[in-house]
Amino acid sequence: MFETLKAQPADKILALMQMYREDPRDTKIDLGVGVYKDATGLTPIMRAVKAAEQQIWEAQDTKVYTGLAGDPAFGDAMISLVLADAVPRENVAAVATPGGTGAVRQAFEMIRMARPDARVFVSDPTWPNHLSILKYLGMEMVPYRYFDDETRGVDFDGMMADLKGARAGDVVLLHGCCHNPTGANLNTAEWDAVIEVLLQTGATPMIDIAYQGFGDGLDADAAATRKLVAAVPECLIAASCSKNFGIYRERTGLLMAIAADASARGLNQATLAFLNRQNYSFPPDHGARIVTTILNDDALRGDWMTELEEVRNAMLGLREQLASELQRLSGSDRFSFLAQHRGMFSRLGTSPDKVEALREKHGIYMVGDSRMNIAGLNAQTVPILAAAILDVGV
């Protein structure tokens, strides 16, 4: 039977990683893979994570399942981190998932169960896995304009015009902060306008928040999400712990379904538990337990927040250094957007052939759409990248 299988398209980022590994040049720079790296090129284990794991190792006396929704304490801790007191806790159903990707997948599954004909509005561009999962599930996608290749900022007028085409029963997928892949984010007034359009059209928002703490700070990065959920009757939120806790391989995420009132929470919670059962039964617990231990221990939480700030400020410093070096070399401020973007990624807004020229001539690897991982740089490689960008005529 397997001879009938069709080859699937290769993952572009994984293929790029393989090309980078095979490149013999000592000067090569990896700006493709979407993981945080420190100045030495490593993705370190955070101090609080190490300490939490030690506590867990000493205290844990069983590896039995925690439940279809995962440990309730993990849900409570993450809901507090993301939402604070924006909505009553009794309105929020939640399940642990295998990473933020698992939360996104379960959210799409829930949408399909509730509204088989729902259209999902997605930003152009968006994280490629959003599109891949929606296509696999056979769900209709509607792109909305988002990134302006000229300004390297948000095409807000285009975005608003497109979102006005949504209707009740549709879903609008939004990035809570640190837009992937562009790094360009909505400001406060623009978020207010998006909320108004959602209320006018009756469309349901879904927020993917994978980088809380990587942009302007833990609370600042969650501010738009909190404002939105307080204003709309229903919302889905997919949250990831991979980046801000640095526990990529532990696959730790949470899906939240926010109802208009507490009476609807029970059905939402039962639906989410059912979906977990169909896909993987019980979610993984080790990463969730690490996060719960950190967030519920004042000392560990304080140390985690300190280290997360160090990570955030390091990326901001690299952004500012790169923008400044490009201005120095070019005599133009046309690259100032790099300092204004937030999160791990920025999109240069250049053509695939120039991205290819960066790889061939200079050993600089980034995704073909010109998305680059700022965290793949360090103080020594920033001048190399700046000179290469200008050399190929970006």
Whether 210 is catalytic: yes
Q: Look at strands 252-258 and 235-240 and give their pairing.
A: antiparallel
Indicate the SS3 state at residue 140: strand
Tell me which residue of 378, 297, 375, 301 sits closest to 342, measured CA to CA.
375
Eight-state DSSP code of residue 2: G
How far, in whole angstroms, is CA 37 from its chain's centroid?
A: 16
Q: Could you check whether the bond before residue 9 is cis, i.e. omega within 30 degrees of 0?
A: no
- Catalytic hit among 155, 162, 208, 285: 208
Whether 257 is catalytic: no
Cβ atoms 358, 392 nearer than 8 A: yes
Whether 57 is catalytic: no
DSSP string, 315-376: HHHHHHHHHHHHHHHHS--TTTHHHH--SSEEE----HHHHHHHHHHH-EE--TT-EEEGGG
**φ, ψ (nearest 5 deg) of residue 172:** -110, 115
Q: Look at strands 364-365 and 29-30 and give their pairing.
A: parallel
- Catalytic hit among 243, 257, 314, 369: 243
- Catalytic hit among 52, 86, 210, 224: 210
DSSP bridge partners of 255 = 95, 238
- Catalytic hit among 51, 77, 107, 127: 127
CA atoms of 355 and 364, how far apart (whole Å): 8
- The counts of H helices and E strands in the chain are 14, 13
Tell me which residue of 172, 221, 249 sits closest to 344, measured CA to CA.
221
Whether 184 is catalytic: no
Which residues are identified as catalytic?
A: 127, 208, 210, 243
